[in-house]
Structure 1
Amino acid sequence: MLGWIILLFSLITCFNAKSSTNLTSLNNNGIALWEAKVFSGKSIYTINQHQGRLALQALSQSSASGLVLENKIDLTITPYINWSWLVEKTLHGLNERSKSGDDFVARIYVVIDGGFMVWKTKSLNYVWSSNQDKGLVWDNPFAGSSVKMMSVQGKQSQTGKWYEEKRNVYQDLIDTFGDQGSEEANLKAYNYIDIIAIMTDTDNSGKKAESYYGDIVFSTK
């Protein structure tokens, strides 16, 4: 009987281990596995306590750099991305749909890497928009339709307040890049993401931004 109990416990533990994946693990400095990617000037990312919780602080001054993790995620197993974020000040007066205004106080994005077939590379950006309404989707002004911007938080969102987010990445990819006509075709197109990134950027506007991110976790539900 004891053997069966141990086996059952092992199976439950194994299932629970696969039911969610914490990609940042701020308590254990898992963010150290993420690589810095500099586009224009270096934003500063550090782990700090903020409003009683451990967070990744992002400071940007006319800069655009992010933290990138190459990690293949099977969206049939863990389709949901969960995170929390807070911004201290938004970037007023920007047209974020234009090249000169393509700055965001906070963004988390996922990438399907097309490899040598670069035209198959797709990126979905979950952004905190300073000037757009919440719930909008538009093409990135630099990359066009291969990069979609989704305003998870918008101009009505409060500064200095933590927001908890959960998105079904698989469904969002279908909704933003297009339904392929069948479940089989959708799985072929959107089954996996290859890269996850965090970025606070103000290089186009030349402004300052201070934002905070909680752990990024993929889960089954």
Structure 2
Amino acid sequence: MMTGYLRAAAIFTGLTTTIIASAGPEVPRFSAMPPGGPVLGWEALKPAPKANDTQYTLVREGGHTVLKAQAESAMSGLLHVIRVDVQRYPLLRWRWKIAAPLQTSDMRTRAGDDYAARIYVVFDYPFDRLPFGTRAGIRLAESVYGQKIPTAALNYVWDNRQPVGTLQPNTYTDRARMIVVRSGGERAGQWLTETRDLAADFRAAFGEEPPAVVAVALATDTDNTGERATAWYGDIEFLPREAAPR
């Protein structure tokens, strides 16, 4: 159990001790950045000191700038700190594409906890509402890493074998829930737009109403399996309920 919380802390090393709310739910758009330039408004996310870094670059594709991720036995990501009222902006929309799913990953095991593409959403869940054992594990993790770690997170993943709609706890901590949005290689190589109801997903995952979002992140990771993966990410948006899926 304790090891799990330490891993969870590592996953979100980009979170600062003090969350500073942004002016609104505007995530920095890759499409507004020049190809080859810096990824503005996003922080590096370095979970495992011994793992290689996933390489993230801004590239031009289909008339738009997108973020390209290349991982080889690697795990690092990008994170944007933002405060979003889920009651006002319950929808999350993004575009993504993968070259191919991973071959040997298995989300049911720690050794297989790798994904060609994933989007994290971190919530401001009250610490004092957690069970005693969970609080103790988080305190230990924070003492080791010297920073606050998330108390609730949703992970939207492109898996290789579990069916779409699978929802389960992460193998390292049950405070992060995995949701399979895409699976397998049938749609690999295609740009896909996803729209998720954050409020509904949080209720399904944790059985209660969601608190505010405090960060969004993305990662292409292969450090456990040692595989190679390539993915592309488009803009990520928080939207009001009236914004219908497209």
If the length of structure 2 is used for normalisation, what is the TM-score? 0.73
Structure 2 residue 53 is the aligned partner of structure 1 residue 53: no
* Cα deviations by residue, 1:58-93 (Å, 9 ceiling, x for unpaired): 111111111011111111111111101000021113
Contact 1:70–1:195, Cα closer than 8 Å, also in 2: yes
Structure 2 residue 168 is the aligned partner of structure 1 residue 138: yes
1:163 corresponds to: 192
CA deviation after TM superposition for structure 1 residue 47, in Å? 0.9
* Cα deviations by residue, 1:154-191 (Å, 9 ceiling, x for unpaired): 12541100111001111110111113xxxxxx2xxx13
1:1-221 equivalence runs, <5 A: 21-29=25-33, 31-40=39-48, 41-114=52-125, 119=135, 121-143=151-173, 145-155=174-184, 157-179=186-208, 186=209, 190-220=210-240, 221=243
2:126, 2:225 → 1: CA distance? 31
Unaligned runs of 5+ in 1: 1-17, 180-185
Unaligned runs of 5+ in 2: 1-22, 129-133, 136-149
CA deviation after TM superposition for structure 1 residue 54, in Å? 2.1
Specify the code of the residue in structure 2 equivalent to 1:64.
M
Higher strand share: 1
Post-superposition, which runs of at least 4 consecutive aligned residues in structure 1 deviate over 3 A? 113-120
Deviates more, 1:71-80 or 1:27-36: 27-36
Larger radius of gyration: 1
User: Identity rate of aligned residues, in percent?
Assistant: 31
CA change 1:156–1:133 in 2 (3 A) is: farther
If the length of structure 1 is used for normalisation, what is the TM-score? 0.80
Specify the code of the residue in structure 2 equivalent to 1:126.
Y
1:31, 1:83 → 2: CA distance? 17
* Cα deviations by residue, 1:121-175 (Å, 9 ceiling, x for unpaired): 01100001112111111111111x2110000011254110011100111111011
